[in-house]
Amino acid sequence: MNRWLRRLLITAVVVAIWEGVYRAGLLNPIIFSAPSLIAKAVREDGMTFLSAMRLTMVEIGLAVAIAWILGVAFGVVAGASKSLARVIAPVLSAMIAIPLVILYPLILAWLGLGPESKVVFGVLSGIFPIALNTLIGVRHLDPGYTRMAQAMGANRFQVLFLVLAPLALPAIVAGLRLGTALIIIAIVLSEMLSSTDGLGFWISYHRSLFNTGQVYLGILLAVLVAAISNILLSWIEKRFAPAKAA
Amino acid sequence: MSAETNMSDMIRVEGLGKRYGDPATGLTALTDIALNVRAGQFVTIVGPSGCGKSTLLQIIAGLVTSTSGEVQIDGRTIVGPSPDIIGVMFQDAWLLPWKTARENVEFPLALRKVPADQRKERAMKLLDLVGLTASADQYPDQLSGGMRQRVAIARSLIQKPKVLLMDEPFAALDEQTRTRMGNELLQIWQESGGTVLFVTHGLTEAIYLADIVYVMGARPGRIIDRIEVELPRPRSIDMIGSEYFGRLRNRIWHLIADPA
């Protein structure tokens, strides 16, 4: 409790100093916001931002679910076969190197301004590092595990997902972290580029009107979304980490 | 064990060959392998490294395909993994690190969706057999190398196989542990009445454990002799120092060093 109290106190002091500097007329309100302006934004547009945040989180959640499942499944299958891995790994590397934002206009044209285009763009942005990390993780496992599992009677699916995938978990989780960060960036960015709702859209909208309070509020909420996803990831990492010696 | 089951061939290998690459220029790993193991026997295969003895065992286990010949176990032609009649052990236990010793022993049954309480009961019985009851809930990285191989023995027995195929299972252990594990294996084998085919490069181990020793030569991998070990059971460490044991060891050593 003591630790949280100290953190709260430090935050309060920083906010007070920030507000003081603003009141003293030392900050240009078009560039820098102030705590009171953010509070005003909450009063004026709080509900709009809250529903925008919910939409953004749903988009991120969908994109993450699709990219994780498809990316890991694809990576495990490709990584378990030497010949398949040799063909697919360079393709995945190349896909990661391409700035996928160049595809966004096409996705927009196909799927429109709504959430669908954001989810698809998010999936595309995250799936390749997830698949590549999984592939490499599985590729590096000793073939002895596969041989043993086959000798015990494991079928192909069981070898892949009950033996190889859990063994490759450290590499897979590293891929999930990277992929999830890229998905969050992609979805907020795509909302900013062209959309009708979502945190990115409202940040962009208020920026063009010089409502810095609203812009800062949007940024704070976007940081919050990233923090929530990070907490979930850490939990998953702990939950599924191989049991270690006490 | 009745004389009748003793007479039947549990493992029969005929005309077995393994080639890599194309027939003209490829590599011959194994050629014209024939061997048979009767039910209840303990048979070892000894040979220099690179003679293909591990490949031979994996072909018999149905994990690697041969290019010629046939393997029959208990009258069934082996075309793939057959966990219902074959238990397999390797030099490494390949335990799953996130599962406890007991869960690892249960794993083959879990793959077949056997109910959890039945699995647990069987696993605890086998852990008791290998002397690991106290370590049932420990994870592999909390176990010593010998203990991990004991878990692997228990796991290979859980589907009640008719045949246990072992590929240098104790080679990575220190000499004292290896000797102790050999004795324990003999005890388990005598209690369970199964059939064991055991691959090793250790001459002493090969003779000490076996009823019959198959000696292999390299390039190409082939069987160069079949030797019956006429030592009484149960075996004891003192037998290793006997004159008979020494002569047998010398004979095999010469077979491997300068094959005819």
0.90 surpassed by complex ipTM: no
Residue A19 lies in a domain: no
For the stretch B94-128, pLDDT in tens is 999 999 999 999 999 999 999 999 999 999 999 99
Q: Are A151 and B61 in contact (CB < 8 Å)?
A: yes
- Are B77 and B247 in contact by the 8 Å Cβ rule? The answer is no
Share of chain B above pLDDT 90, in %: 80
Confidence (pLDDT) at A202: 94
The answer to whether residue B1 scores a pLDDT higher than 80 is no
Q: CA of B41, closest CA in chain A: separation in Å?
A: 22
Strands B27-38 and B9-20: antiparallel
Domains (range + CATH), chain B = 1-81+197-260 (3.40.50.300)
Domain-embedded: residue A9: no
Nearest to B81 among A142, A151, A166 (CB): A151
Residue range(s) defining the domain that contains residue A154: 35-240
- Mean pLDDT calculated for residue range B37-58: 93
Q: What string of pLDDT tens digits covers the 246 residues of chain A? A: 688 999 999 999 999 999 999 999 888 878 888 899 999 999 999 999 999 999 999 999 999 999 999 999 999 999 999 999 999 999 999 999 999 889 999 999 999 999 999 999 999 999 999 999 999 999 999 999 999 999 999 999 999 999 999 999 889 988 999 999 999 999 999 999 988 899 999 999 999 998 999 999 999 999 999 999 989 888 887 876 654 433
Instruction: Give dist(CA A33, CA A13) in Å, integer.
Output: 17
User: Residue A87 is part of a domain; what is its CATH number?
Assistant: 1.10.3720.10
Query: Per the structure, how many domains does chain A have?
Result: 1
Residue A65 lies in a domain: yes
User: Residue B156's closest chain A neighbor by CA?
Assistant: A152
Say if residue B24 is exposed, middle or buried (CB neighbours under 10 Å; 0-12, 13-18, 19+): exposed
CA atoms of B80 and B67, how far apart (whole Å): 14
User: A17 in a domain, yes or no?
Assistant: no
Is beta strand B86-89 parallel, antiparallel or unpaired with respect to B9-20? unpaired
Are B96 and A154 an interchain contact pair (Cβ–Cβ within 8 Å)? no
In this complex, do A244 and B139 lie within 8 Å of one another by their Cβ atoms?
A: yes
Nearest to residue B105, comparing CAs of B118, B95, B117, B113? B95
- Residues of chain B with Cβ-Cβ distance to A163 below 8 Å are 96
State pLDDT tens for residues B173-189: 898 889 889 999 999 99
- Between helix A115-139 and helix A104-111 the angle, nearest 10°, is 130
Specify the pLDDT at position A242: 54
State the pLDDT confidence band at B196, using cuts at 50, 70 and 90.
very high
User: Does any domain span residue A127?
Assistant: yes
What is the pLDDT averaged over residues B227-250? 93
Which of A208, A228, A186, A213 has its CA nearest to residue A54?
A228
Determine, yes or no, domain membership for A10: no
* Opening angle at CA B10, ends B9 and B11, nearest 5: 95
Q: A243 vs chain B: nearest CA distance in angstroms?
A: 5
pLDDT grade for B68, boundaries at 50, 70 and 90: very high
Question: Strands B68-73 and B86-89, how do they pair?
Answer: unpaired
Instruction: Grade residue B2 by pLDDT with cuts at 50, 70 and 90.
Output: very low
Q: B135 to each of B27, B92, B124, how far by Cα in Å?
A: 46, 19, 10
Contact check, Cβ <8 Å, A147/B86: no
